[in-house]
Amino acid sequence: MDPDAVAKAFVEHYYSTFDTNRSTLSNLYQDSSMLTFEGQKIQGSTNIVAKLTSLPFQQCKHSITTVDCQPSGPSGGMLVFVSGNLQLAGEQHALKFSQMFHLMPTTQSSFYVLNDIFRLNYA
């Protein structure tokens, strides 16, 4: 499958899961996964999902502006670089963000997130 198509499919799946059923993001992380969220470092699926489900907003919607991807090396990994907007319910203005994922293949022909770095883009 075309890597760009794989990256796009992953991104769509990730953000629609985030926006509709945030706790099931645990399927996309493993014990070795790392998240840096606005500078805070978190390791492992349980801690990562705890952080994401405890963010101070209930409803949100990610709108994706750009998706770039590159293979990361011989292990079959893929780097995905996303920019977009995050609209929180009740907020007038959307927040701009950038996010980087390093996806690694699973034995079930899927991907999990090994590295995840999220930053808001302030004006």
Partner 1 sequence: MYKLQEEMEEQVEMVGRAFVEHYYHLFDTDRSSLASLYHQSSMLTFEGQKLQGVDDICAKINQLPFDKCHHFISTIDTQPSSFAGGITVFVSGSLRLMCEEHPLRFSQMFHLIPTPQGSFYVQNDIFRLNYG
Residues of this chain that interact with partner 1 (CB under 8 A) are 32, 34, 36, 39, 41, 66, 68, 70-75, 77, 79, 81, 83, 96, 98, 100, 102, 104, 114-115, 117, 119, 121, 123
Residues 6+ apart with CB under 8 A from 66: 81, 82, 83, 84
C-alpha span between 38 and 117 (Å, rounded): 8
Give whichever of 6 and 117 is closer to partner 1, judged by the CB atom.
117
C-alpha span between 56 and 30 (Å, rounded): 24
Q: How far is the CB of 106 from partner 1 (least distance, A)?
A: 13
What is the residue whose two structure tokens read 């790392």?
34
Q: How far is the CB of 103 from partner 1 (least distance, A)?
A: 11
Give whichever of 41 and 51 is closer to partner 1, judged by the CB atom.
41
C-alpha span between 71 and 77 (Å, rounded): 6
Give whichever of 58 and 66 is closer to partner 1, judged by the CB atom.
66
C-alpha span between 122 and 53 (Å, rounded): 23
Q: How far is the CB of 100 from partner 1 (least distance, A)?
A: 5
End-to-end CA distance of the chain: 37
Give whichever of 59 and 70 is closer to partner 1, judged by the CB atom.
70
